[in-house]
Amino acid sequence: MKNKYKNLSKDELYLISRAEYEKQNLITTEFAQKLFPDKNKASRVLVFLTKKGRLIRIEKGKYVLVPIKAPNQQWMPNEFIVASLWMGDTPYYIGYFTMYNYWGFTEQIPRTVFVLNTGKSSKKDINGIRYEAVKIKKEKYYGVQKIKVEDKDVFISDKERTLVDFASNPLGSMRNFEIALQENIQNINVEKFVRYLIKFPVVSVKKRAGFLLEQFGCSENILNPLRKAIGKKRVLVPLDPYKASRKGKINNDWKIIVNR
């Protein structure tokens, strides 16, 4: 049978065909070596397919397959799938600014795909997209939702967990989180949000979020467990940690300096 893909060798075409037949989105060195027991040949095939734009390198030994019918330079892998393949078996979720935009908490378009995980911290560009792996403690790994992206399971922070991260990392100003919470308080499960806040191992985040929830009319029944979770120590924290000034009214209930 004549090879219709003139720029591909028989070995290269064989690897792509087998990968597509077996529905392998992730191509690894081990996969290539199963097809080509000669390790040198396996390495050459991976290198040449990458140079020809038929494989996208994620990291050493990991590649994303470009569909065989896709014209060169005209196909981009889904960013969430790439993040998932990058993490492998490491517990992770796509979060931070990526999810702030995804859930409609901000209109700012993220330039980076943030992947919170329990294994590693690193940054890299993959096919022109910036990815950042943020290592977190195991006790922060919760509130994770599984979604389907192109028939693949991908893990993201759910809406309420994303708000907890927003309270902890509010895009350079607490005002950003305050606006997001005020505009979306009717669209979230407030009780779940409070449970997530109680579980979050940073007291200052609980204080700031609790103060704002009370400002926006959250009921005492829901807030009381969060109030207990901040403890009795009178350690004051500024409402906006990004402002240089700590001047403002003191809220003794939440132990907040309202430095708006």
- pLDDT tens digits, one per residue of 176-196: 999 999 999 999 999 999 999
Cα–Cα distance measured from residue 155 to residue 230, given in angstroms and rounded to the nearest whole number: 30
Determine, yes or no, domain membership for 2: no
pLDDT at 25: 84
Mean pLDDT of 2-16: 81
> Locate tokens 């309420």: which residue?
160
Residue that is last in its domain, among 157, 192, 210:
157
Mean pLDDT of 18-43: 95
Residue that is last in its domain, among 130, 157, 184:
157
41 exposed, middle or buried (CB, 10 Å; 0-12, 13-18, 19+)? Answer: middle
pLDDT at 151: 87
Determine, yes or no, domain membership for 15: yes
DSSP state of 109: P
Residues 6+ apart with CB under 8 A from 36: 11, 15, 42, 45
The pTM score is 0.89
Q: Are 138 and 169 in a shared domain? A: no
Q: How many domains does the chain have?
A: 3
Q: Are 174 and 239 in a shared domain? A: yes
Residue that is last in its domain, among 65, 90, 112:
65
Adjacent-strand bridge partners of 126: 129
Domain span holding position 103: 79-157
